[in-house]
Structure 1
């Protein structure tokens, strides 16, 4: 039986698609985005129970009542939301800074996370290459114009890709506090400890997908995840920072191939770097 619907859980907006009895796949968006950023991917993934959550202060989710946007707090809130919808185990997929949310969830509740998939998630701060002016908006210009949003998003997509209007509209509806707080929290999390070190300590199967035209994180930094035992590293040729929108079919195919062998726990050997042509 296939379901599609949305509901609030601990003030987080949760949407579910696909068969309720299928293995769970949790999709987490990045900063200044919403669960709508997965719209092109979801129809390709509904062999699973696909769960999308708007992170605090983004999309239809309220900001945290205590103002705590930190990644450990976010991990606990995500765990509560999964508990309330009856998810016992999930493969957790994070795009961009959503990969930090995925990792924080695994740190807080390793019992819930079967494996992690990180899509264009920067491994450490020295891999960040976007111009400084792209990192924040002027408070005097909030809410931003469509033109300003598109300028901000320019490094988030490969050259020539048209940013969907729905994502522009959703960003304009967010508060500056929510966007800035989430970005600061991600920076603090990554500064405290590099992501490959966090993942190595978790001992979970990991897939890393990286567009080789990423304009925010140095594409060669994907190799930093090679220190994670049995990590699978996939480079997507011609893709920018957001292959979930730029190349949904290719991205979904890589993800689904990974999920097929995750339950077996049979990931042998050293990190594997593959290039998808």
Structure 2
């Protein structure tokens, strides 16, 4: 019976690892107030790194980055995504996410040196850092600011990328190939094999044979001001990674980050869209490695 880890050799080959032995990856769960949060634990060692994906994604979005890094890590499925439970209120905003994700970090990665959060995962990281001082030592935010949800709502067409499929697309599809083709059109810079892997990890087949995304759609709007306040309240070191071809973080957002925290480090990955981990996994892995090296 195929498992969710059977595609890892393909990831490894695509990023040039060849016959390098692959790490052991296991799924671990945490239950808080009856709500299940699931995660992938990379190696049996205590995780040095925690990763939080974006809206409409899941923990497997980090597979290539983690294979390139080769460090013990915990990649969490955000509430309502991947193998984590869906909420009855469909509220997956960063502030409601924070206690559930924090409990997962506390149980499975209490001594992690770094949290990397992309998009919704980055905003959730900001919320956790303010809510649970001491749980996160430092953070990397991948192509997100508290203004990103508003900026996405103002985008149209190709500028929305694959995020448009998560928020605006149909609820179900006739077959997997239809989903793969739609995703490929929204992410022309990614290989077809990478897109196929991503779709396989992010879908499930319904009893009637149709296919559905493996996430619940957010019903609430994300308000920027509480997240800016949370960012200001936190004292941990932050690094912002921008996608050079992404419209999700504007120069004005960077200015606001710097106004509130002049010490924030900002780096841009040329040519990458919003999902830097998918468009430029090796480049992002090297950025993360540099931050981890500072913790030693």
Superposition TM-score tier, normalisation by shorter sequence: 0.7 to 0.9
The match for 2:243 among 203, 211, 215 is: 211
Does structure 1 residue 130 correspond to structure 2 residue 128?
no
Q: Which residue of 2 aligns with 1:45?
A: 69
The match for 2:216 among 179, 191, 197 is: 179
- Shift of the alpha carbon at 1:114? 0.4
Does structure 1 residue 35 correspond to structure 2 residue 56?
no
Deviation readout 1:214-269 (Å, 9 max, x if unpaired): 1x515535623222231000011121112212211111111111222246xxxxxx
Q: Which residue of 2 aligns with 1:106?
A: 129
Partners of 1:168 and 1:146 lie apart in 2 by 9
Does structure 1 residue 20 correspond to structure 2 residue 45?
yes
Secondary structure of 1:245 counterpart? helix
Q: Which residue of 1 aligns with 2:264?
A: 231
Partners of 2:230 and 2:105 lie apart in 1 by 22
Q: 1:223 to 1:148 in 2, by over 3 A?
A: same
Secondary structure of 1:179 counterpart? coil
Q: Which residue of 2 aligns with 1:220?
A: 251
Partners of 2:53 and 2:174 lie apart in 1 by 21
Q: Which residue of 1 aligns with 2:231?
A: 199
Q: What TM-score does the superposition give when structure 1 sets the normalisation length?
A: 0.77
Q: Which residue of 2 aligns with 1:9?
A: 30
CA RMSD of aligned residues (A): 3.1
Secondary structure of 1:164 counterpart? helix
Aligned residues: 252
- Shift of the alpha carbon at 1:206? 0.3
Q: Which residue of 1 aligns with 2:195?
A: 164
- Shift of the alpha carbon at 1:66? 6.2
Q: 1:238 to 1:4 in 2, by over 3 A?
A: same
Deviation readout 1:197-221 (Å, 9 max, x if unpaired): 432221210001111111x515535
Q: Which residue of 2 aligns with 1:59?
A: 82
Structure 1 residue ranges without an equivalent (≥5) = 264-277
For the 8 Å contact 1:31–1:179, the answer to whether it is kept is no
- Shift of the alpha carbon at 1:58? 1.4
Structure 2 residue ranges without an equivalent (≥5) = 1-22, 205-210
Partners of 2:200 and 2:78 lie apart in 1 by 17
Partners of 2:284 and 2:200 lie apart in 1 by 25
Does structure 1 residue 248 correspond to structure 2 residue 248?
no
Name which of structure 1's ranges 76-85 and 25-34 shifts more when overlaid on structure 2: 76-85
